[in-house]
Amino acid sequence: MKLKERVCGTINKYSMLPGGGHVLISLSGGPDSVCLADVLYKLKEDFKISLSAVYIDHGLRPEETGKEADFCRGFCKERGIDFMEESVNVSEHSEEGGINLQEAARELRYQKLAEISNRLGTEYIALGHNADDQAETVLMRLLKGAGMKGLTGIPPVRNLIIRPLIETERSMIEDYLKDNSVVYTVDSSNLKEKYFRNWLRLSLMSEIKKKEPAVIKEISRTAEILRDEDNYLEIIVTKTLMRLFSRKNDSTIELFLRPLTAIEKPVLRRLLRRAVDATKGLRGISFTNIEDIIDLIKNGKAGDSLDLPKEIRVIREYSLLKMTTLRHVKITKYKLEPPCDITIRETGAVIQAVYEEAGANPPDKKEEVLLDAGLLKFPLVFRPRAAGDHFYPAGFGKKKKLQDFFVDEKVPRDMRDSVPIVCSGDDIVWIAGHRADERFVVTEKTEKVLRLIISTAK
């Protein structure tokens, strides 16, 4: 099969250019990107596309990049392709982010391509990754210990990015360029084996090909199979995850615990990964961390927790699994002299105290309580729990230890020190947000009412 036919097949197989449009080509001057640009130029009419190309200078090879940019400019001029040159500072990004130069170059290159595409209004960004790149990526990830998702390799299509050469082997690209007298440049950094990918390509893969000439084709096929299976599992995970969220924001996820305990590991692992990746504050949890979380779900008990890197904490509550970067702290002692609003510095919650006349509307939520002001000693105080605390829960009829009350109410252990205990003298009158003391609630004899309201921080 000729290269042009192979590329057409790949474009159609993955619906890379539905309806045509404007394509931005990442052009480095190397054989892959030059081949890509030349073939797309020849397929312009077939797929009803217009072309632009950009050369991105990474600032790493000043002695070569000028010649490469000039070559790309001339290449595009011959074919009537709009050309532009951009630059990024890879060394600075590498140092600031604590990542290697190759990873820094990749991040900045994708950022710049997205920026240019947005500026030009292009529908697609075409990259020159080929079948050899695919096989090398899969093998590299396998050697470093990737799971199924990692072994799916380089996606043929991702958002605006398309890779028309992803099923074309490097040898076919080289033959095409030679047969069509298309010249290209050579990036000297690709010949240095100090980079892991280069060593794998130049040394390991070349030896494997001697023993198994079809290795590129076979690994690429395996990646495609895994990609199909991965996509199927992702559909299952998406449907399952939608039913599991109790609460989610930038710093915290709460998932219903009971369904989690029944999910098999392969799906549970993916589900947790998806959940944390979608939460800004939790990104960076490793595979090992995920395994620890699964063990907590399957074998832990209420109140057990994990402390993970980046100050991430996972708590197995009574009915929820909570993953958060927020830390619940122990509140201090506060005086409360109605009418007033008191902000609890440690948590950001606010307790409001207002006097009302007898017959006031009863509270309709546990965050409010009505107390008989005539039975209270002022100022009231609220404080954290203390050893030996007990009270008479309204509606319960007898004395109860605060510790037992928290257990019955399923208040997580790590949150108990942040619950305000409102007291009149030595007596507890309200476990804020939970229950009043029977001895201080309003009755028919109450003449003056104190309403307390706790509002949690948003």
What per-residue string of b and e applies to 429-439 under the rule 16 or more CB within 10 Å gives b?
A: bbbbbbbbbee
In this structure, are residues 103 and 140 in contact, taking their beta carbons and an 8 Å threshold? no
Highest mean pLDDT among 156-170, 174-188, 308-322: 156-170
Structure tokens at 299: 């074998």
What mean pLDDT comes out for the span 202-218? 88
- Would you state the pLDDT for residue 279? 79
Q: Is the pLDDT of residue 192 over 70?
A: no
Q: Is the pLDDT of residue 458 over 60?
A: no
In this structure, are residues 334 and 344 in contact, taking their beta carbons and an 8 Å threshold? yes
Going along 32-133, which residue ranges are E strands?
49-57, 82-87, 124-126
Q: Is the pLDDT of residue 255 over 60?
A: yes
- More reliable by pLDDT, 49 or 396: 49
What mean pLDDT comes out for the span 407-428? 90
What mean pLDDT comes out for the span 433-448? 94
**pLDDT tens per residue, range 91-116:** 888 888 888 888 888 999 999 999 99
- Would you state the pLDDT for residue 123? 96
- Would you state the pLDDT for residue 214? 93
- Would you state the pLDDT for residue 457? 60
Structure tokens at 371: 């107390």
Q: What are the chain's domains?
A: 3-228 (3.40.50.620), 246-324 (3.30.465.60), 334-455 (3.50.40.10)
- More reliable by pLDDT, 192 or 74: 74
- Would you state the pLDDT for residue 307? 84
- Would you state the pLDDT for residue 194? 63
Percent of the chain whose predicted confidence (pLDDT) is above 90 = 64
Q: Distance (Å, rounded) from C-alpha 393 to C-alpha 429? A: 9
Write the CA distances from 145 to 103, 161, 288, integer angstroms: 18, 26, 12
Q: Distance (Å, rounded) from C-alpha 164 to C-alpha 17? A: 10
- Would you state the pLDDT for residue 130? 96
What mean pLDDT comes out for the span 385-399? 93
- More reliable by pLDDT, 370 or 330: 370
